[in-house]
C-alpha cells in the first residue's frame, strides 16, 4: 500500500508540475506579445535572443512589456543550455524609446514609484544574469532603452543609432540605473554632461566615449553581435561565467578584494572536466569539446 500511495503522490506531483509549466507558458505567451524569446539551434546552440516587438509604441516600456521582459529573462537564467543572450528589436530604427509616457501619464505618483522600482529591479536582474549579454542597438536607445542596454555586458550599434538619457528634459532623472551605470562606463564627467543636458549622441560619439563596444554599418549590428556570440560559445562555459562574476564583483571593491574573488573563481575551475579537456585539446592541437562540466 505504501508503494501505491508513494506512486500516486509522485504522479500527482508530476501532474501538478506539468500544469504549472503549461500555465507559465500560457502566461508568458499572453503577457509578452511585445517580447519574444528565441533559442538558436545546431551550431549556434546556446545562443538565445530576446526580441522587442512593439512597433506602435516604438518599443517603449509599459507594464505589459516589463512583465514579458521579466519572464523572458527568468527563463533564460534558468536554462542550463544558455551561454549568450542577445537583446534586439524587430522595429525599424528603434531599439527602445524608453518609458511608455502615455501610460505613465495615467499613473499616480505611487504607481510611478512602484513601476520604476520594478524596472530598476528588472535591469539589475539582467545585469546579474550568469551568462554574457549583448545589446543589439539599431536606431533609438533612449531613456529606459539606454538603461536596458547599459545593463548588458556588451553593446553593438549600427551607424544610425541615437543614444541618450533625456529624463531631465521631463524634470526627472534616469531612475532605472542610468545614473550609476553610465558613469561607471564612460566616466563621471562625461556621464554628468549627458545626463545634465539630456543630449543625445550618435553612434560615432557613442563609440569614441566607450558607450558601445562596436559601431557597424546600419542594419549590421545583429550580424556583429552574432559573430561575437559565436566566439563566446566556443569557450569553456563555466570559465565564461566565472570571468563575468570575477569582473563584475571585483569592480565593486578594492584591488585586494577583487584579487581574492578572482582566486575564488579560478579555484572553482580547477576540478572541472572542461579544464582538462582544454589542456588535452591544446596538446593534441585540436578544437576543444567543452560540455560545461
Catalytic residue numbers, as ranges: 99, 144, 147, 167
Flag whether pLDDT at 14 surpasses 80: no
Q: Can you name the CATH fold of 237-284?
A: Lyase 2-enoyl-coa Hydratase; Chain  A, domain 2 (1.10.12)
Domain positions in the chain: 26-234, 237-284
The stretch 61-67 carries a mean pLDDT of: 91
Q: b/e per residue, 93-123, with b = 16+ CB within 10 A?
A: ebbbbbbbeebbeeeeeeeeeebbeebbebb
Please state, for a pLDDT cut of 90, what percent of the chain lies above it: 76
Residue 17 predicted with pLDDT over 70: no
Q: Report the sign of the C-alpha dihedral through residues 137, 87, 229, 255, in that order.
A: positive
Phi–psi pair at 277, nearest 5 degrees: -65, -40
Residue 3 pLDDT: 44
Q: What is the pTM of this model?
A: 0.86
- Cell numbers linked to 54: 512593439
Give the residue, 16 or 274, on which the prediction is more confident.
274
pLDDT-derived band at 32, boundaries 50, 70, 90: low
The number of CA neighbours under 13 Å toward the Cβ of 155 is: 27
Residues in the chain, total? 293
Q: What mean pLDDT, rounded, does the chain reach?
A: 89
Q: What residue ranges in 191-284 does DSSP mark as E strands?
A: 201-202, 214-216
Instruction: Of 122, 65, 130, 55, give the one whose Cα is nearest residue 95.
Output: 55
One CATH from 3.90.226.10, 3.40.50.300, 3.50.50.60, 3.90.105.10 for 26-234: 3.90.226.10
pLDDT-derived band at 38 (thresholds 50, 70, 90) equals: very high
pLDDT in tens, 161-184: 999 999 999 999 999 999 999 999
Cell of 13: 506531483
4 pLDDT above the threshold of 60: no
The span from the CA of 85 to the CA of 94, in Å, is: 19
Rounded Cα distance, 93 and 2, in Å: 64
Amino acid at each position: 500500500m505504501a508503494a501505491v500511495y508513494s506512486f500516486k503522490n509522485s504522479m500527482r506531483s508530476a501532474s501538478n508540475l506539468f500544469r504549472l509549466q503549461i500555465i507559465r507558458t500560457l502566461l508568458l505567451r499572453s503577457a509578452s506579445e511585445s517580447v519574444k524569446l528565441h533559442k538558436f539551434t545546431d551550431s549556434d546552440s546556446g545562443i538565445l535572443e530576446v526580441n522587442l516587438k512593439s512597433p506602435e509604441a516604438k518599443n517603449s516600456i509599459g507594464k505589459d512589456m516589463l512583465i514579458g521582459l521579466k519572464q523572458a529573462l527568468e527563463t533564460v537564467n534558468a536554462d542550463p543550455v544558455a551561454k549568450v543572450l542577445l537583446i534586439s528589436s524587430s522595429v525599424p530604427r528603434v531599439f527602445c524609446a524608453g518609458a511608455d509616457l502615455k501610460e505613465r501619464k495615467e499613473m499616480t505618483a505611487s504607481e510611478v514609484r512602484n513601476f520604476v522600482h520594478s524596472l530598476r529591479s528588472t535591469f539589475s536582474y539582467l545585469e546579474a544574469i550568469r551568462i554574457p549579454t549583448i545589446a543589439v542597438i539599431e536606431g533609438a536607445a533612449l531613456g529606459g532603452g539606454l538603461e536596458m542596454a547599459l545593463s548588458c555586458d556588451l553593446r553593438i550599434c549600427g551607424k544610425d543609432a541615437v543614444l541618450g538619457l533625456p529624463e531631465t528634459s521631463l524634470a526627472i532623472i534616469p531612475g532605472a540605473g542610468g545614473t550609476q551605470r553610465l558613469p561607471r562606463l564612460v566616466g563621471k564627467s562625461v556621464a554628468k554632461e549627458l545626463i545634465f543636458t539630456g543630449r543625445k549622441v550618435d553612434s560615432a560619439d557613442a563609440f569614441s566615449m566607450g558607450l558601445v563596444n562596436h559601431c557597424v554599418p546600419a542594419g549590421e549590428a545583429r550580424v556583429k553581435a552574432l559573430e561575437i556570440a559565436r566566439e563566446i560559445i566556443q569557450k569553456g562555459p563555466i570559465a565564461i561565467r566565472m570571468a563575468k562574476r570575477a569582473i563584475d564583483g571585483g569592480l565593486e571593491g578594492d584591488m585586494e578584494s577583487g584579487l581574492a574573488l578572482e582566486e575564488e573563481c579560478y579555484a572553482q575551475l580547477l576540478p572541472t572536466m572542461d579544464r582538462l579537456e582544454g589542456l588535452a585539446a591544446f596538446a593534441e592541437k585540436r578544437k576543444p569539446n567543452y560540455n560545461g562540466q
